[in-house]
């Protein structure tokens, strides 16, 4: 067999070598056939039974979740149960069976296509991911209708007990429910045709901590069941039927990578200090309170970004003040006095509480989102601010405002924060009167005017994911232009430098909390530019710390100045590579 490689998006690092296990794609097996009238009622009953079976299966999976399972898994299952109960999937296919006298598989596939088409018309990142949820739910129903009881039969499960570490799952997509079932085994990796860095599959990959690649397009069509493949999650490459030489090379790389991961554990309790004694704070980004466990075990010294929108997502009801307070308080108490920076709601027109009220925005990233949304919905914002203030009495909480672009927005926010404080004072409820307020610099307008923001804020946090996207006019979720998304673009570096200098000038702390912070190849450059705080996914903390421990600030500063003086990306990239070799 000729060896070949497929390129995708690496979402979880590491190297896996094993046999491909193709996961059934029920959508490809659906055929259409007519039914005589006297069999229609039986077909509708068959459909109803399939819906009931999937519901029971999902509820059973939810009940079987271990207490230490990633919290987002339960939320994903809840989303799928909610979709399954919706009339559009549970009832309308019955009408299609009656009206068209067709089989149940065809009816639910027609309805799914109609729903997916509606999602595609909206064209935005968050709703594209919800489209995948619909497809995943329909897949489960189809598997029951087609006689596929589960992704892995008992026979298959028994046969892989001793070899599952060498099995690599290959799928068009993997639903959260399926991933939970796979978690009971210890597969080496998984790869999918679809998905992006923000997809549920990617989030799950990071929580399962196995090498994973998404957006491979046609991997499932090109790879045969049982075929030997290599998954390089760091480079986003799958090598199919590798030659003896490539296999030997990757086995060596795999051993080295695993050895490096073991060695990294030795520095977990070591402080992140450069060779010339400069201390760098390494914080963790979290989505849900349960993530604190991973943050603490990574050696992170605080929470640099708690994304509160995960409390609001995958539900139709609004979390009340008490629910929010309990969540924020639990994180503050678990961190035992360490810094906990909590970002206020970063939802948008594409992420309403009730999916029925979603407005159709042509450019959601440029629409009503983050602080703009909060200021337009003062009641929702007031509830969150009160919950945050109440929780501040139980730990070292700081409040972070996302997507600021004008001083007017900041001043409105301060006014609403003061009103929330006043309401608590009237009720005699304790909170931290001097709670720190920070702003996210993720819009070029805010970076250019960073000195003005620094004067009115206690600290700044640079959100590089959006800053790069807005600066370069590139949708990072769009495969067609993703290759143009580059953190080292000279314009991006200039905006970063402007923000860092503005904070330094006024004696305010500044950190980076986007993906750039967790990528070790940027660590020396960011420190050389003046950063002393970095916040990242817990799994990246030790890699970044290792880079810091082998850095000398005097050398970093001079190299960073040379890089900032360059205007050509083609010259910057090789210089950063050389920078990292010292």
Identify which has the larger pLDDT, 500 or 478: 500
List the beta bridge partners of residue 232: 15, 237
Q: What does the pLDDT look like over 61-91, one tens digit per residue?
A: 888 776 666 566 677 788 888 888 889 999 9
Q: What does the pLDDT look like over 208-236, one tens digit per residue?
A: 678 989 889 889 889 987 899 999 998 99
Report the distance separating Cα 287 and Cα 278, nearest Å. 30
Q: What does the pLDDT look like over 357-367, one tens digit per residue?
A: 445 566 767 88
Instruction: Return the active site residues.
Output: 200, 513
Distances from the Cα of 334 to the Cαs of 69, 396, 502, 565, 568, in angstroms? 18, 11, 33, 44, 46
pLDDT of 496 higher than 90: yes
Q: Averaging pLDDT over each range in 109-118, 193-202, 329-338, which range is the top one?
A: 329-338
Q: What does the pLDDT look like over 246-265, one tens digit per residue?
A: 999 999 999 998 888 888 99
Predicted confidence at residue 120, as pLDDT, reads 73
Predicted confidence at residue 353, as pLDDT, reads 46
pLDDT of 327 higher than 80: yes
Of 37-51, 177-191, 319-333, 366-380, which range is least confident?
Answer: 177-191
% of the chain surpassing 70 pLDDT: 84
Q: What does the pLDDT look like over 408-421, one tens digit per residue?
A: 999 999 999 999 99
Of 12-16, 145-149, 257-261, which range is least confident?
Answer: 145-149
Query: Domain 273-548 class?
Result: alpha beta
| Secondary structure element (H or E) that encloses residue 322, with its range | helix 321-334
Report the distance separating Cα 45 and Cα 52, nearest Å. 10
Query: Domain 26-145 class?
Result: mainly alpha
Predicted confidence at residue 249, as pLDDT, reads 95
Based on its alpha-carbon atoms, the radius of gyration of the chain, rounded to whole angstroms, reads: 25
Quick check: 436 and 342 in contact, CB under 8 A?
A: no
User: Taking all residues of the chain, what is their mean pLDDT, rounded to a whole number?
Assistant: 86
pLDDT of 493 higher than 90: yes
Residues 6+ apart with CB under 8 A from 431: 389, 390, 392, 393, 421, 424
What confidence tier does 287 reach under pLDDT thresholds 50, 70, 90? confident
Residue closest to 223 by CA, chosen among 236, 235, 207, 239 = 239
Residues 6+ apart with CB under 8 A from 60: none
Q: Averaging pLDDT over each range in 364-378, 457-471, 482-496, which range is the top one?
A: 457-471
Predicted confidence at residue 25, as pLDDT, reads 64
Half-sphere exposure of 517 (CA within 13 A, CB side): 29
Of 168-177, 285-294, 397-406, which range is least confident?
Answer: 168-177
Of 222-226, 390-394, 520-524, 533-537, which range is least confident?
Answer: 222-226
pLDDT of 205 higher than 80: no
How many other CB atoms are there within 10 angstroms of residue 570's CB atom? 7
DSSP 53-81: HHHHHHHHHHHT--TTS-HHHHHHHHHHH
What confidence tier does 149 reach under pLDDT thresholds 50, 70, 90? very low
Residues 6+ apart with CB under 8 A from 357: none
CA 500 to centroid of chain Cα atoms: 26
Mean pLDDT of 53-62: 87
Residues 6+ apart with CB under 8 A from 293: 68
Of 150-154, 461-465, 531-535, which range is least confident?
Answer: 150-154
Say which CATH topology domain 4-23+151-244 has.
Glucose Oxidase; domain 1 (3.50.30)
Predicted confidence at residue 508, as pLDDT, reads 97
Of 181-185, 323-327, 423-427, 445-449, which range is least confident?
Answer: 181-185
CA 272 to centroid of chain Cα atoms: 26
Quick check: 145 and 46 in contact, CB under 8 A?
A: yes
pLDDT of 27 higher than 80: no
pTM: 0.70
Predicted confidence at residue 536, as pLDDT, reads 92
Domain ranges for the chain, please list them.
4-23+151-244, 26-145, 273-548
Quick check: 135 and 112 in contact, CB under 8 A?
A: yes
């Amino acid at each position: 067999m000729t060896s070949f490689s497929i390129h995708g998006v690496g979402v979880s690092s590491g190297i896996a070598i094993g046999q491909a296990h193709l996961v059934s794609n029920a959508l490809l097996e659906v055929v259409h056939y007519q039914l005589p009238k006297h069999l229609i009622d039986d077909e509708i009953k068959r459909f109803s039974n399939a819906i009931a079976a999937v519901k029971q299966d999902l509820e059973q999976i939810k009940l079987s979740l271990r207490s230490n399972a990633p919290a987002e898994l339960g939320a994903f299952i809840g989303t799928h149960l909610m979709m399954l109960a919706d009339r559009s999937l549970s009832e309308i296919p019955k009408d299609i069976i009656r009206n068209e006298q067709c089989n149940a598989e065809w009816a639910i596939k027609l309805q799914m296509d109609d729903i997916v088409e509606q999602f595609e018309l909206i064209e935005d990142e968050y709703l594209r991911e919800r489209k995948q949820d619909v497809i995943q739910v329909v897949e489960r129903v189809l598997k029951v209708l087609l006689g596929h009881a589960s992704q892995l039969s008992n026979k298959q499960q028994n046969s892989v007990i001793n070899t599952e570490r060498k099995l690599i799952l290959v799928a068009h997509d993997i639903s959260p429910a399926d991933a939970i079932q796979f978690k009971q085994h210890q597969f080496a990796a998984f790869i999918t045709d679809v998905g992006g860095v923000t997809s549920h599959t990617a989030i799950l990959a990071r929580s399962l901590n196995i090498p994973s690649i998404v957006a491979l397009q046609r991997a499932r069509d090109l790879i045969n069941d049982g075929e030997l493949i290599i998954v390089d999650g760091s480079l986003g490459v799958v090598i199919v039927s590798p030659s003896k030489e490539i296999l030997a090379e990757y086995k060596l790389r795999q051993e080295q990578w695993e050895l490096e991961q073991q060695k990294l554990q030795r520095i977990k309790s070591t402080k992140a200090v450069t060779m010339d004694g400069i201390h760098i704070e390494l914080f963790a980004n979290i989505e849900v309170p349960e993530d604190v466990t991973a943050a603490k075990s990574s050696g992170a010294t605080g929470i640099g970004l708690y994304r509160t929108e995960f409390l609001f997502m995958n539900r139709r009801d609004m979390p009340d003040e008490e629910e929010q307070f309990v969540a924020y308080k639990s994180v503050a108490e678990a961190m035992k006095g360490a810094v906990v920076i909590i970002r206020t709601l970063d939802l948008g027109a594409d992420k309403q509480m009730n999916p029925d009220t979603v407005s159709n925005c042509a450019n959601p990233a440029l629409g009503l989102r983050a602080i703009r949304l909060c200021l337009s919905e003062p009641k929702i914002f007031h509830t969150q601010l009160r919950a945050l203030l109440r929780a501040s009495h139980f730990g070292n909480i700081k409040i972070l405002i996302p997507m600021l672009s004008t001083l007017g927005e900041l001043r409105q926010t301060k006014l609403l924060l003061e009103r929330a404080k006043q309401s608590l004072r009237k009720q005699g409820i304790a909170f931290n009167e001097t709670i720190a307020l920070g702003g996210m610099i993720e819009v070029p307008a805010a970076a250019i005017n960073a000195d003005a923001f620094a004067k009115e804020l206690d600290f700044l946090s640079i959100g590089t994911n959006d800053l790069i996207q807005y600066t370069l006019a590139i949708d990072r979720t769009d495969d067609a232009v993703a290759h143009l998304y580059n953190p080292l673009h000279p314009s991006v570096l200039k905006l970063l430098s402007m923000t860092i200098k503005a904070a330094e000038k006024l004696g305010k702390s500044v950190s980076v909390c986007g993906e750039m912070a967790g990528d070790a190849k940027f660590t020396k450059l960011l420190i050389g530019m003046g950063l002393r705080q970095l916040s990242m996914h817990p799994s990246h903390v030790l890699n970044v710390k290792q880079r810091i421990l082998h850095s000398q600030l005097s050398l970093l500063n001079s190299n960073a100045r040379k890089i900032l003086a360059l205007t050509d990306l083609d010259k910057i990239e090789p210089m950063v590579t050389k920078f990292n070799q010292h």
